[in-house]
Amino acid sequence: QVQLVESGGGLVQAGGSLRLSCAASGRTFNNYAMGWLRQAPGKEREFVAGINWSGGITSYLDSVKGRFTISRDNAKNTVYLQMNSLKPEDTAVYYCARSQSGRYLHLADFGSWGQGTQVTVSS
């Protein structure tokens, strides 16, 4: 069973930046596509960004395209989410997730996730 531990969340003003990190346990990290999900208060969890096993292909929720960048370092078993130009509507708990299907485009593609890290963007 994989263990995913997120870090890097916090409180930031609108227009600011944060970088989330996710450390994964196990020796098969680079066999899996990874992603970031988020859940805002009172809302369903949603897909934010995904990345294939090598890091060469990425996908994003339309509302974060051009502002967020997902990347990974397979040597460190770590996936990142760089978030720029943050908006109050980005406020949510952000979860690192591992693909269960090999795909990384939708919420249903992910079967394991961490405890989450809170991101709060003030206006």
- Identify the pLDDT of residue 26: 82
Integer Rg of the chain from CA = 13
Q: What's the pLDDT score for residue 1? A: 81
pLDDT single digits (tens) 50-104: 999 999 999 999 999 999 999 999 999 999 999 999 999 999 999 999 999 889 9
In the structure encoding, which two tokens stand for residue 76, read together? 């460190």
Q: Is residue 123 within 8 Å of 102, Cβ to Cβ?
A: no
Q: What is the pLDDT of residue 101?
A: 85
Structure-token match 């805002």, residue found: 40
- The pLDDT tens digits for 5-62 are 999 999 999 999 999 999 999 888 989 999 999 999 999 999 999 999 999 999 999 9
Cα–Cα–Cα angle for 30, 33, 39, rounded to 5 degrees: 130
- Annotate 50-82 with b (16+ C-beta within 10 A) or e (fewer): bbbbebeebbbeeebeeebbbebeeeebbbbbe
